Amino acid sequence: MKYLSLLFLCGCLGIKLVDHKYEDVFIVIQKTVGEDPTLIQKIKETFTLASKLLFTATNNRVYFGKISIIIPKEWTTVTNTTSIPSIQLKNYIMIDEGKIKNPFVKSTECGKEGIFLYLPPSFLMEKSDTAYGRKEKVIVHEWGQLRWGLFSEYHPSPDKKFYLDEGRWKPTVCTDQIQGQIGKGPVCLSAKVCDPTRSSVTMSEMCSFCPHLQQTANASIMGYQYIPSVNFFCDKDDPSVPAWQRHNKKAPTKQNLLCNGKSAWEVMREHSDFRTGSTLPEQTKTEPIFEVLQETSPIRVFVLDTSGSMSTDDRIGNLHRAGAYIINRVLEENSWLGVVCFTDHARITADMTHIISDSEKKNLVASLPTSADGGTCIGCGIHRAIEMLKTMPRKTAENAEIILMSDGEDQNNQMLTDASREAIESKVVIHTVSISQQADPRMISLARDTGGKHYTYLDKGDISFSAIFSQVITISATDMTSKPETVLFKSVDEQSFNINFNVTLETGMNTTISVLTKLRNSVNLTLEITGQSVMRYQSFYGTSLTYQIPETFKAGQYQVIVTSSRVTSWEYTVSSLQSGSNQIMTTTRLSKTTMDFTNAGRDMPVVYADVTKGFAPVTNVEVVAFVEGTDNVLCNITLRDNGQEPDIAVDDGTYSAFILPSCMASKRLNLRVEVFGREGQAGVQKKLTGAIAIEEPEVEYEVLKESFQRFSIPEPLFVKNLPADLDLPPGRITDLSVVDIKTRKSQNGESRNFTIAWTATGNDMNVGQATSYDIRIAEDIDTIMYNFTMAEKFSLNNDTFVPKPSGTPEAIRISVNADESYTGTAFLGIVAVDKNNNTGQVSNVVSILVAKGFRIEVEEVKNYTIGMFNNTVEDETDIVDEHVSSSAFNTALTNSIVLISACVHACVHFGKM
């Protein structure tokens, strides 16, 4: 069978580059922002300036062509707008009034598009310069991250503000041309403790680098964009590039860590935006065209398969009950819905209906199918739906959504091909749900090609049909926090069962419980609250019941006890809705939806869960993904927000984990992600790193007083060509750092001990326990980064230094002895190795100081714990030049020492300065 994908242009609404101009750039103003027409003016001013800067910063290559500003339904005073139904955007700019007050981008990977750029209205409303410098610089900085997958080029955390090079501490910046002052605190007061030449101890975290505002450095926008003279991106460190633009791959920036030492331009040149390399004349007019769109209600058509196979396992009954649940509980008031049913031909069972009261809902539910018979012509259904949309309500299908559900193989290939083309041409979005594994594979490409989502419902498993159905109901673009969140769902086969959940003060009465059952049945439902004598009792005869916690109910632990007259299939959902930016939301996604082992290399799929309150990250949450195959739960995976691979940044509210082949024993996998935030432990962080501020504010953290729970489902993962015996290599270590330096005068010269710490990775990516470490050193950073096996190896004794289980802190102590002053630099990297000698990728690189003709010894620091070397020098009087090693340190060491005298030849070039 031929696949449709790539035949046509994708109809999805994401940023595109057309003829050097960015089109389909959407700026969505959230409902949380108070109505303010001047905000629109400010957006226009800012993005007009940003367009010009984008053009010059990219050497006259790209700029903003058309920008669409979407305003909320509720805004009334902005005129000259065009209406647009609620749409699903792919990558966009969001303006939100929430807890976060600084611009940031939700990133994915180096070189890949981010998810969205967040701007608070206060930033745009600022009269001239902001705390982050000129607004257009900040926009171009964030654009680099959103569009090209660049990362920031300042220090990612306080312990990475400086690094050792050429005998001193250097600030973490992209080019060495940036002038500034080093000192204590955020404004760099001069302080002895911050002397960068004091390489005999680690630099205190109190010390900062404050670039001068008046200077001539031109790069990098990804670093200190607030310096007025900085207007360009860094390029490769090569004589062909002017010195002011040369990338500094030694600095411990996020860009270097995640893009493997590449400069901004090296990443950009690989992006399709810059493939042609052609430039425009300097005088090109770069003013973007703006349009203001006002969001209106979503317009949807259910296109439902009623072919014979839908009677198997009561799929048609499931569809009917879940459809009724969606119509009654999930669809918004004021939205539009039509229903088309198809077999080998299609018919409309409900015309486009504007849902304004319960009576429309009732009629729509009555139009859902109850019986199934005949063949399958998916194309017939799609064609009929588009026809209907073209008459009602807007006379166009553009931006309307078709929700297609089918369980069978399509029998009219030509009709489906034609309908796909028609859908793409009319810009309708098709979301597809395959009911069972047998569904036509073209269901997937249909969704991909039209910018829709695809889900699969597996007859077996814990994931309920209504939970899957809810996933394809798009959230309002301007009101993303107002969708009810799923607290709990499950499908069970029982006569009676309990549902346990908490009702919190914040969610209160906006908690509903829906119970659906297969057979018409006599059911008793009892609601109890632990510790309180309140009990509600309800009985019904039928197949579904939805119950809303009444206003008079109290916060507490609830239990619903369901008893019925017979064993049957059930599914239930508990959902809750909080007001606006107080809503705790979970969205889940996969780094890819197909894992084909024939060409995937080492790139295992990653599952991400964003847990936020409004858009502020919620940290210290337990997140577990249960991977369901066709027949059973295959495994569970813990997602972490700790900055270790594959996680991009610590405490940003995005939890992530690899999905490993051991969980892939099925061709289609569904993931059920469960999120649990414990009271007194989970908290909301009110800052996320974006463009750096002239004076970085303190991060505020609010501990949550109530526990919460959320369930979410990402799109399914398709597995192809899974090999029988695949041994994955160990993961990459990403947090190598120098945690301590001790210096002592020796008989002939000096002796320095560097303690280098990291977090252990596993034997299969970051799972398990590696067998050994390959630790190497080189005078040249390129050798360590790109030619690791050519670097000098430390012969650590494997018997005494066994890597610890993944996630455990590890450390080595390197003692360097020399007769001369320490002015050279040596770079160090680590690779984890498994029992089959598979090697992981080279870790991030750290530098230490060495001297000409140094002798070096390496040993494990046993029982290393984080914070063991607390180097925060609180007072200048604490500084003693010759540190004497502490007793705790001495007892922690072993005797596995190897002398590397061979290094002498490698060190001859050291000692400039």
Q: Indicate whether 502 belongs to the interface with ligand NAG (CB under 6 A).
A: yes
Q: Indicate whether 787 belongs to the interface with ligand NAG (CB under 6 A).
A: yes
Q: Which is nearer to ligand NAG, 492 or 577 (CB)?
A: 577
CA distances, 751 to each of 793, 819, 820 (Å): 21, 9, 10
Q: Which is nearer to ligand NAG, 373 or 782 (CB)?
A: 782
The site string for ligand NAG over 675-694 (x = CB under 6 A, - otherwise) reads: ----x---------------
Candidate residues 544, 743, 761, 847; the one interacting with ligand NAG per rule CB under 6 A? 743
Q: Indicate whether 742 belongs to the interface with ligand NAG (CB under 6 A).
A: yes
| DSSP one-letter code for 273 | G
Provide the total of helices (H) and of strands (E) in the chain, helices listed first.
13, 44
CA distances, 385 to each of 352, 430, 579 (Å): 10, 11, 35
Q: Which is nearer to ligand NAG, 92 or 558 (CB)?
A: 558
Applying CB under 6 A, which part among 345-353, 468-476, 686-694, 742-750 lies near ligand NAG? 742-750
Q: Which is nearer to ligand NAG, 691 or 728 (CB)?
A: 728
Handedness of CA 529, 531, 534, 535 (dihedral sign): positive
To the nearest 10 degrees (0 to 180), the angle between helices 442-450 and 413-425 is 10
Helix (H) or strand (E) holding 151: none
Applying CB under 6 A, which part among 39-47, 131-139, 453-461, 740-748 lies near ligand NAG? 740-748
Handedness of CA 79, 81, 86, 89 (dihedral sign): negative
Q: And the tokens for 613? A: 């309150």
Q: Which is nearer to ligand NAG, 231 or 470 (CB)?
A: 470
CA distances, 575 to each of 26, 27, 470, 498, 588 (Å): 30, 30, 11, 16, 17
* Number of residues in the chain: 913
Applying CB under 6 A, which part among 84-92, 183-191, 574-582, 844-852 lies near ligand NAG? 574-582
Q: Nearest approach, Cβ of 790 to ligand NAG (angstroms)?
A: 5
Applying CB under 6 A, which part among 62-70, 337-345, 421-429, 785-793 lies near ligand NAG? 785-793
Contact 453, 447 (CB under 8 A): yes
Nearest Cα neighbor of 68 from 31, 27, 33 is 27
Q: Which is nearer to ligand NAG, 377 or 861 (CB)?
A: 861
Q: Which is nearer to ligand NAG, 310 or 858 (CB)?
A: 858
Nearest Cα neighbor of 299 from 11, 455, 88 is 88
Candidate residues 179, 548, 786, 800; the one interacting with ligand NAG per rule CB under 6 A? 786
Helix (H) or strand (E) holding 560: strand 556-576
Q: Which is nearer to ligand NAG, 358 or 698 (CB)?
A: 358
Q: Nearest approach, Cβ of 404 to ligand NAG (angstroms)?
A: 29
Q: Which is nearer to ligand NAG, 136 or 740 (CB)?
A: 740
Q: Nearest approach, Cβ of 564 to ligand NAG (angstroms)?
A: 5
Q: Nearest approach, Cβ of 815 to ligand NAG (angstroms)?
A: 4
Task: Please give the distance of CA 890 from its chain centroid, rounded to a whole number.
Answer: 42
Nearest Cα neighbor of 223 from 266, 189, 255 is 255
Candidate residues 522, 795, 798, 800; the one interacting with ligand NAG per rule CB under 6 A? 522
Applying CB under 6 A, which part among 268-276, 458-466, 761-769, 779-787 lies near ligand NAG? 779-787
Q: Which is nearer to ligand NAG, 83 or 636 (CB)?
A: 636
Q: Which is nearer to ligand NAG, 217 or 741 (CB)?
A: 741
Radius of gyration of the chain (CA): 30
Using CB atoms within 10 Å of the CB of residue 517, give its burial: 0 to 12 exposed, 13 to 18 middle, 19+ buried.
buried
Any idea what the Cα angle at residue 563 is, between residues 323 and 313, rounded to 5°?
40
Q: Which of residues 536-565 bind ligand NAG (CB under 6 A)?
A: 539, 557, 563-565
Helix (H) or strand (E) holding 586: strand 584-590
Candidate residues 80, 276, 359, 533; the one interacting with ligand NAG per rule CB under 6 A? 80
Q: Which of residues 790-819 bind ligand NAG (CB under 6 A)?
A: 790, 815
Q: Nearest approach, Cβ of 611 to ligand NAG (angstroms)?
A: 14
Beta pairing class for 606-613 and 654-658: antiparallel
Candidate residues 41, 122, 636, 748; the one interacting with ligand NAG per rule CB under 6 A? 636
Helix spans in 465-558 (H): 465-471
CA distance 664 to 720: 10
CA distance 673 to 217: 47
Applying CB under 6 A, which part among 249-257, 607-615, 784-792, 829-837 lies near ligand NAG? 784-792
| DSSP one-letter code for 862 | T
Q: Which is nearer to ligand NAG, 27 or 380 (CB)?
A: 27
Whose structure tokens read 């919190």? 504
The site string for ligand NAG over 288-317 (x = CB under 6 A, - otherwise) reads: ---x--------------------------
Q: Which is nearer to ligand NAG, 122 or 787 (CB)?
A: 787
Those residues with Cβ within 8 angstroms of residue 533's Cβ, 6 or more apart along the chain or in another chain: none
Q: Which is nearer to ligand NAG, 55 or 801 (CB)?
A: 801
Answer left, alpha or beta for residue 308, where phi above 0 means left and psi between -120 and 50 means alpha: alpha
Q: And the tokens for 747? A: 């008989």
CA distance 470 to 587: 13
Q: Nearest approach, Cβ of 554 to ligand NAG (angstroms)?
A: 13
| Sheet with strand 485-503: strands edge to edge | 485-503, 556-576, 511-529, 532-548
Nearest Cα neighbor of 134 from 178, 103, 175 is 103
Q: Which amino acid is at 872?
A: T
Candidate residues 753, 763, 806, 847; the one interacting with ligand NAG per rule CB under 6 A? 753
Applying CB under 6 A, which part among 114-122, 590-598, 739-747, 759-767 lies near ligand NAG? 739-747
Handedness of CA 654, 672, 840, 237 (dihedral sign): negative
Answer left, alpha or beta for residue 495, where phi above 0 means left and psi between -120 and 50 means alpha: alpha
Count residues binding ligand NAG (CB under 6 A): 33
Q: And the tokens for 760? A: 């252990």
Q: Indicate whether 508 belongs to the interface with ligand NAG (CB under 6 A).
A: yes
Q: Which of residues 578-607 bind ligand NAG (CB under 6 A)?
A: 578-579
Using CB atoms within 10 Å of the CB of residue 407, give its burial: 0 to 12 exposed, 13 to 18 middle, 19+ buried.
buried
Q: Which is nearer to ligand NAG, 256 or 343 (CB)?
A: 256
Q: Which is nearer to ligand NAG, 305 or 859 (CB)?
A: 859
Applying CB under 6 A, which part among 25-33, 117-125, 782-790, 863-871 lies near ligand NAG? 782-790
Q: Which is nearer to ligand NAG, 147 or 672 (CB)?
A: 672
Q: Which of residues 689-718 bind ligand NAG (CB under 6 A)?
A: 707, 709
The site string for ligand NAG over 613-632 (x = CB under 6 A, - otherwise) reads: -----------x--------
Q: Which is nearer to ligand NAG, 276 or 747 (CB)?
A: 747
Q: Nearest approach, Cβ of 395 to ligand NAG (angstroms)?
A: 19
Q: Nearest approach, Cβ of 508 to ligand NAG (angstroms)?
A: 4
List the beta strands (DSSP E) in 44-102.
63-64, 66-71, 82-85, 92-95
Whose structure tokens read 């008793």? 524
Contacts with ligand NAG by CB under 6 A lie at 80, 291, 502, 508, 510, 522, 524, 539, 557, 563-565, 577-579, 624, 636, 679, 707, 709, 742-744, 751, 753, 782, 786-787, 790, 815, 885, 890, 893
